[in-house]
């Protein structure tokens, strides 16, 4: 069943409004033509007749997409007679392939890198245009190369609009108060936990304590090891029983952290759900660090006003890289929302024109900031919440889809980590269970 979302202007903070106006070259009281002309000076120049009348639809699985609708409004400054809309498809993954073959097919649609590995989505990619075709003029160079997914023929059937990773929400005021530096190595992490424990904080690190999400803290070590060893990836992906031994370094670190007192599991167990509860508990102001995904971190802005504690005593915070190695922090880069263009679209030229407009340093940064998700551009400092990731050495950026660990492998790690952290299994017992775990 389709559920349409009505277009509306995005209401954002004064800061984001000023950024958007600067990006569009808009000025109060100016005409659309004048605004468009100024915007062109910022980099985008229409390549089609600006008087073109047509409709462009985008289909996805978001309940609403105000940040995209704001981009529609910017695009309409160039093409005022192009009607753009976003529609949510219920049960998206199961219906999108069929929808693309229907009379109601979208012009642009969500796709994911894991779909490239599944025969179930062959029909979907039969409709996807190669967005790396130079004739389209879409500048993919503004997207981090670690996020671009290509098929076996080298075509790029989708472009990431948002990205994700794992890290830690850091209460910067507490670190400043205690004179502690945000850790960039494993030894620094242990030292910081020691210092916060001695100072009497409820827990140095807050984390979801369930098998599905506890593993957020081990991404850099798991992917970092796998990135160096293709044989390791092959054995892990086939769930070879002997591959369980590859988990040992991860499990030893997690066990060490628990014994070191980095987590007060009683405090972690108080979290009743995996999204609101962690953010609101962090906003109480007495938690130095909270492990989570960038998708969870993106929900902080909307929840600041929901927290009486944060409203009464606001503090500075940001999303930082988290590491269990002494080689320094890294960014395990994962594409999140990705757009593909339906090559059978009746308005293909305009669909590509919108993609050419959207896939730029300014617009990709702006839409990510509005949604408060990790940008896909090199300018990670565009949104201050993710600025700490902008200092990551480019050599320490790990492309999750290039490493190629199957989803089932991450399940094995997550369950094993949870069992060891909670004393449900020894390290050897958890390793022996590799290949049998389910979530």
* pLDDT tens digits for range 343-365: 999 999 999 999 999 999 999 99
User: Which residue shows structure tokens 């009746």?
Assistant: 346
Predicted TM-score of the model (pTM): 0.82
Give the chain's length. Answer: 439
pLDDT at 385: 83
Distance CA 201, CA 411 (A): 31
Q: What is the 3-state secondary structure (H, E, C) of 208-228?
A: CCCCCCHHHHHHHHHHHHHHC
Q: Which of 63, 68, 115 is nearest to 93 (CA)?
A: 115
Distance CA 210, CA 408 (A): 17
Question: Which of these CATH numbers, 3.30.413.10, 3.40.190.10, 3.90.550.10, 3.40.50.1820, describes 2-157+338-372?
Answer: 3.40.190.10
Report how far residue 188's alpha carbon sits from residue 112's, in angstroms, rounded to the nearest whole number: 36
Closest Cα to residue 283, out of 294, 297, 293, 269?
297
Give residue for tokens 């949104």: 383
3.50.50.60, 1.10.10.10, 3.40.190.10, 3.40.50.10210: CATH of 166-333+389-432: 3.40.190.10
Label residue 378 by pLDDT band (50, 70, 90).
Answer: confident
17, pLDDT greater than 50: no
Cα–Cα distance, 255 to 423 (Å, whole number) = 9
Which of 90-99, 130-139, 216-225, 309-318 has the lowest average pLDDT? 216-225
* Whole-number average pLDDT of the chain: 88
Location of each CATH 3.40.190.10 domain in the chain: 2-157+338-372, 166-333+389-432
**Mean of pLDDT values over 172-184:** 97
**What are the backbone angles phi and psi of residue 259, rounded to the nearest 5°?**
-65, -30
Would you call 262 helix, strand, or coil by DSSP?
Answer: coil
pLDDT tens track for 226-246: 999 999 999 999 999 999 999
- Over residues 365-373, the mean pLDDT reads 90
User: Looking at residue 43, what is its pLDDT?
Assistant: 76
11, with CB counted inside 10 A (0-12, 13-18, 19+), is: exposed
Rounded distance between C-alpha atoms, residue 23 and residue 99, angstroms: 35
Q: Which is more confident, 150 or 26?
A: 150
From CA 289, how far away is CA 203, in angstroms rounded? 8
In this structure, how many other beta carbons lie within 10 angstroms of the beta carbon of residue 195? Answer: 16
Tokens of 200: 């009497």
Q: What is the DSSP string of 166-199?
A: EEEEEEHHHHHHHT-PPPSSHHHHHHHHHHHHHT
Question: 20 pLDDT exceeds 90?
Answer: no
What are the start-end ranges of the H helices in 313-395?
A: 348-358, 361-371
Contact 56, 354 (CB under 8 A): yes
pLDDT of residue 216: 82
Q: How far apart are CA 170 and CA 165, in angstroms?
A: 15
The phi and psi torsions of 280 (rounded to 5 degrees) equal -65, -35
Distance CA 67, CA 90 (A): 20
Q: Which two tokens stand for residue 344?
A: 């059978």
**DSSP annotation of 143:** B
pLDDT at 15: 34
Pair of tokens at residue 348: 């293909």
C-alpha 388/C-alpha 139 separation (Å) is: 26
19-44 mean pLDDT: 41
Read off the tokens for 336: 């999140």
Q: How far apart are the first and last CA of the chain?
A: 28
DSSP assignment, residue 86?
Answer: E
Over residues 316-343, the mean pLDDT reads 94
pLDDT single digits (tens) 197-213: 999 999 999 998 888 88
pLDDT tens readout for residues 136-150: 999 999 999 999 999
For the segment 106-135, the average pLDDT, to the nearest whole number, is 93
Read off the pLDDT of residues 255-296 as tens digits, 9 standing for 90 and up: 999 999 999 999 999 998 768 899 999 999 999 999 999 989
Q: What percent of the chain has pLDDT over 70?
A: 90
> How far apart, in whole angstroms, are the C-alpha atoms of residue 92 and residue 61?
6
- The distance from CA 320 to its chain's CA centroid, rounded to whole angstroms, is 14
Report pLDDT for 248.
97
Q: What pLDDT score does 42 carry?
A: 59
Q: What does the pLDDT read at residue 26?
A: 35
The string of pLDDT tens digits covering residues 55-87 is 999 999 998 899 999 999 999 999 999 999 999
Q: Give the tokens for residue 395.
A: 């050599």
According to the model, what pLDDT value does residue 274 have? 66
Question: Band of the pLDDT at 121, cuts 50, 70, 90?
Answer: very high
- Please list, residue by residue across 153-185, b when 16 or more beta carbons sit within 10 angstroms of its beta carbon and e when fewer do: eeebbbbbbbbbbbbbbbbeebbeeeebebbbe
């Amino acid at each position: 069943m389709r559920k349409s979302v009505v277009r509306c202007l995005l209401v954002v903070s004064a800061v984001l409004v000023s950024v958007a106006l600067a990006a569009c070259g808009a000025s109060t009281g100016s005409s659309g033509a004048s605004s468009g002309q100024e915007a062109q000076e910022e980099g985008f120049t229409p390549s089609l007749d600006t008087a073109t009348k047509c409709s462009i639809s985008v289909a996805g699985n978001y309940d609403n997409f105000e940040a995209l609708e704001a981009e529609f409004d910017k695009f309409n400054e160039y093409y005022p007679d192009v009607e753009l809309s976003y529609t949510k498809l219920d049960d998206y993954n199961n219906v999108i392939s069929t929808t693309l073959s229907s009379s109601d097919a979208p012009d642009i649609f969500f796709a994911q890198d894991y779909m490239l590995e599944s025969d179930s989505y062959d029909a979907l990619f039969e409709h996807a245009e190669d967005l790396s075709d130079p004739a389209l003029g879409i500048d993919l160079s503004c997207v981090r190369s670690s996020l671009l997914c290509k098929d076996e023929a080298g075509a790029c059937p989708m472009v990431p609009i948002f990205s994700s990773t794992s890290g830690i929400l850091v209460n910067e005021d507490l670190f400043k108060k205690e004179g502690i530096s945000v850790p960039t190595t494993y030894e620094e992490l242990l030292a910081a936990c020691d210092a916060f424990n001695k100072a009497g904080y409820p827990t140095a690190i807050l984390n979801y304590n369930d098998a599905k999400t506890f593993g957020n803290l081990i991404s850099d070590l798991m992917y970092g090891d796998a990135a160096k060893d293709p044989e390791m990836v092959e054995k892990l992906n086939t769930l070879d029983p002997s591959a369980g031994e590859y988990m040992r370094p991860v499990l030893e670190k997690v066990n060490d952290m628990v014994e070191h007192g980095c987590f007060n599991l009683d405090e972690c167990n108080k979290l009743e759900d995996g999204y609101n509860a962690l953010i609101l508990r962090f906003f109480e102001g007495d938690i130095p660090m909270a492990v989570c995904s960038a998708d969870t971190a993106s929900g902080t802005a909307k929840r600041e006003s929901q927290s009486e504690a944060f409203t009464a005593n606001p503090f500075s915070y940001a999303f930082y890289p988290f590491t269990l190695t002494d080689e320094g922090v890294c960014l395990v880069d994962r594409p999140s929302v990705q757009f593909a263009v339906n090559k059978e679209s009746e308005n293909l030229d305009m669909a590509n024109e919108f993609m050419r407009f959207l896939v730029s340093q300014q617009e990709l940064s702006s839409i990510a900031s509005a949604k408060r998700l990790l940008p896909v551009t090199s300018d990670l400092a565009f949104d201050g919440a993710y600025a700490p990731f902008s200092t990551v050495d480019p050599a320490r950026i790990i492309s999750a889809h290039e490493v190629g660990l199957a989803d089932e492998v991450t399940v094995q790690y997550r369950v094993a980590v949870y069992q060891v952290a909670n004393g449900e299994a020894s390290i050897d017992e958890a390793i022996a269970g590799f290949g049998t775990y389910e979530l």
